[in-house]
Structures are given as C-alpha cells and as structure tokens.
Amino acid sequence: MNVMAKAEKKISSAFIYFFGSFGGILFGYDIGVMTGALPFLQADWHLENAASLVGWITSAVMFGAIFGGALAGQLSDKFGRRKMILMSAIVFMVFSVLSGVSPDMGEASAYYLIIVRMLLGLAVGAASALVPAYMSEMAPAKARGRLSGLNQTMIVSGMLLSYVVDFLLKDLPGEWAWRLMLGLAAVPALILFLGVLRLPESPRFLLRKGDEAQARKVLSYIRKNPADIDQELASIKETAKEERQANQKTSWSTLFSGKYRYLVIAGVGVAAFQQFQGANAIFYYIPLIVQKATGQAASSNLMWPIVQGIILVIGSLVYMWIADKFNRRTLLMVGGAVMGLSFILPAVINWMMPNMNPMTIVVFLCIYVAFYSFTWAPLTWVLVGEIFPLAIRGRASGLASSFNWIGSWLVGLIFPIMTASMPQEAVFAIFGIICILGVIFVKTCVPETRGHTLEEIEEQGTNRGRVKASNPEN
C-alpha cells in the first residue's frame, strides 16, 4: 500500500493533463484516419460504385459512438472514470487491429469492417465522454474553463496526426496502405492505456462511493494548499447532494416542461446543427471531393487533409485566444453565416460560370473549415456545458451528445450517396442552407451564456416558459 501511495505521489498535474488531452488525440485520430484509408480501400475492394457501403464503412464508428457515450456514462458511475477509460483503450486497441486485418472475402469484407468499426465506435464514444469528464473532475476550478478549448485542440491535433500518417503511408501497395492506416490507431490507444494505468481515480467518484480518505489523498497529489482541499471536498459533497436530489425529482418528461423546454431545445438544437451543417463531410471525404472536382485520383490528394488539419489546429488556438472576448451567440452567427456562404457560393458561381476552375470549391471549403474551427466546433460544447440547469444537466447533456453523434453518423452515411446522385455543388448548397438555418436558430432560440451565472441562464428559461404559458398561441 505504501509503495502504491509513493507511486501515486509522483504523479504531477501536468502528467494528468497530458493523458487527459491524449484521449482527445485518440478520438481525433480515428475521426481522421478513414479520410486517407478510404481511397485505397475502395480500390482494393472495388467499391467505387458502392456509395451506400462506403457511407456505412465511414460512418459505422459514429453509429457505435451514439451508444458508447451513453453506456460509458452509466458504467463510469458504477466502476469509476479511470477503469472505464482503461476499458475503452483496450476496446479501441482490439478493434483497430481487427480493422487492419479485415479478411478479403468480397462484399462480405465490407460488412465485416462495418461491424468491427461499429464496435470500435463504442470506445470512441466512451472516450469522447469519459476523458473530458475525468479531466474536469481532476482540474482546479480556475482551469476548467480552458479545458473545452484545450480538448478541442487535442482532438484536431489527433486528426492532423492521422492525416500526416495517411500521407506518409500513401506510397505503400494499396492493400498495405489502408490496413496500416487503420491498424496504427492501436498505437495511441496503447499509449493512453499505459498512461492512465498510473493515474488515480477521480475524487468525485471516490466521494460518491463513500471513500473520503482516498479522495482527500488524491486531491493532496494535485492541490498544494490544504485549505483548498477541504473547500473542494465540501463543494463536491454539496454538488453531489444537489444532483441526487435533482435526479430524484426529474424524469425525461421534465426536460420538456415549460420551465426547461426553452433551454433544452437551445442546447440540443445547437449540438444537432453542428453536425448537420456538414463539417464531417469534408473531414471524411476531402480526397474524394477533390477527385470529383478535378478528376485526379483520390489517393494522390492526401495533402489536402493535412491542409484542413492545419487550419483546424490554428482555428482551435484562435478560439482559445478570443473565447472570452466575444459573445457566444455572436461567434456562432458570424461563423454560421460565413460557413453557409462558403457552401452556397460555389453552386451560384458554377451556375453563372459553368467553366469555373474546379478547385474553386476546395478554396471555399478551406474558408468553411477555418470559420468552423473557432466558432461552431468548440462553442457547441462550451454552450452545452453552460446552458442546462443542474436539475436536468445529466439527461439534457446526454440527449445533446446523442443528437450530435446521430448527426455525425447521418452526414458520414449519406454524403457519398448524395454525391453519387447529384452534383457536388448542389450537395454542399444543401448543407449551406442548413448552416443559414442554424444562424436563424441561434438568433431566435439560443440565450447568451457568456458572463451569466447558471442561475441567470436558468431564469431566462423560466421567464420564457412563463411567456409561453401566458400566450399559448405563440
């Protein structure tokens, strides 16, 4: 026991933050890796004209993630954050390797890979939910506000890493290229597993299990002032008590009662719009988009994902710089407007000038990614974290996350089907209209949360509920 305590005391907060952030890199790597693998996989398995299968192979991870996040949240309350992160890393490693060694059995191979990637998605969804939660519970209160921006930076860094790996492996024989791209996802999962092995359990979970002595011990490793430890323990106890009382008084129907309906619609709506605006169509299919625009082979266009990845990383850093300088609504509306125009203008230009340079659409996609990276990408989760009152926070946050994953899955699934049946410019114009609808939604349905306490935000929902009750025809 003394040896274990001695080992845990050597753990620094920097080590905890690194491996908390590394979970974001793991998540981002898997989002991006199929971008480079898909052109080689299509050629190897002759799927060039199988749009629905391509969509399912690409989106299967997001489909699994819909269930992975919800399942991990419930299991982590029973077994602990740390154990579930370790389990997620193991699942991630196993199914990454199984993806890379997919048997070549004709069309049956595609169904095998779809199932394996669905199971891999359970780990992706779990990691995306568990790692930020663990980090926020370990971090001091003054650092929590920056974690959402830091987590976003790590996710897009993981995407950029996968794009670079794809580019470096592109000259291998086709079958080896895509298999290594998918299989190497096991490496960051192994690093995460080995790192988390050294981490202690969350103090919040320990207190919920009644182990105050161990919770105090863990806090002593990462807090310097004993008075801060006492204050934080008392705060965790009080919050846990309030959450238990809230859970006893609320149900799923409570989310849509007059008092909370406005805030639930706002938070869940923003989470859904973030995905239905079409960002993942770019992240998953940019080589195929360039191929369709220029006629060049997708496998020779793997520099474009790296360009997108660099833009995403720079944008996430820009967000961390401007996050507290502008209102949330302002950034979302400006970002959404530019994103919408970036999708709509290529269709308009192509209609007016049918002989336009085919790379024009790619330039506009880069503009879209730039504005998405410092507005809707990080702000969605900042707003979701701020907008839900304590009484409904657990259920409402889970609902928002589910709608976000559903949107991600559907976009990944239907984009190749849409582009197989209509011009690319028309497909992106549809996403552009959704972006504009997102701006209108933010303008009319989303309250400003920057600089407001949770109580003030909840009061906005209460007041809106009273107005609706007194004017039911509105």
Q: Between residues 431 and 470, which one has the greater pLDDT? A: 431
Side chain identity at 454, as an amino acid letter? L
- Quick one: pLDDT at residue 327? 87
Who wins on pLDDT, 431 or 74? 431
Tell me the range of 60-69, 217-226, 396-405 where mean pLDDT is highest. 60-69
Instruction: Go through the domains of the chain in sequence order and give each one's CATH number.
Output: 12-199 (1.20.1250.20), 250-474 (1.20.1250.20)
Task: Locate 135 and state its tokens.
Answer: 């980090």
Residues 288-329: tens digit of each pLDDT: 888 887 777 766 678 888 999 999 999 988 988 887 788 889
Q: Which residue has the higher pLDDT, 132 or 335?
A: 335
CA distances from 112 to 48, 53, 95, 98, 192 (A): 18, 11, 11, 10, 26
The pLDDT of residue 1 is above 50: no
Share of the chain above pLDDT 70, in %: 87
What's residue 7's pLDDT? 40
Q: What is the pLDDT of residue 169?
A: 92
Q: What would the pLDDT profile of 144-160 be if each residue is shown by its tens digit?
A: 556 666 777 888 899 99
* Mean pLDDT score, 158-178: 89
CB contact burial 306-339 (16+ within 10 A = b; e otherwise): bbbbebbbebbeebbeebeeeebbebbbebbbbb
Where does 266-332 show beta strands of DSSP type E?
none
pTM for the complete prediction? 0.81
pLDDT of residue 219: 82
What is the distance between the alpha carbons of residues 91 and 146, in angstroms, rounded to a whole number? 29
Token pair 């949330």: residue: 328
Mean pLDDT across the stretch 186-202?
A: 88
DSSP result, 13-68: HHHHHHHHHHHHHHHHHHHHHHHHHHHHHHHHHT-TT-HHHHHHHHHHHHHHHHHH
Of the chain, the end-to-end C-alpha distance in Å amounts to 64
Q: Which of 292-306, 353-367, 421-435, 460-474 has the highest mean pLDDT?
A: 421-435
Pick the more confident residue, 213 or 296.
213
Least confident of 62-71, 362-371, 409-418: 62-71
- Token pair 């506000």: residue: 145
CA dihedral in degrees (434, 438, 444, 445; nearest 10)?
A: 120
Q: Which of 99-108, 161-170, 412-421, 447-456 has the lowest mean pLDDT?
A: 447-456
Residue 382 has pLDDT above 50, yes or no: yes
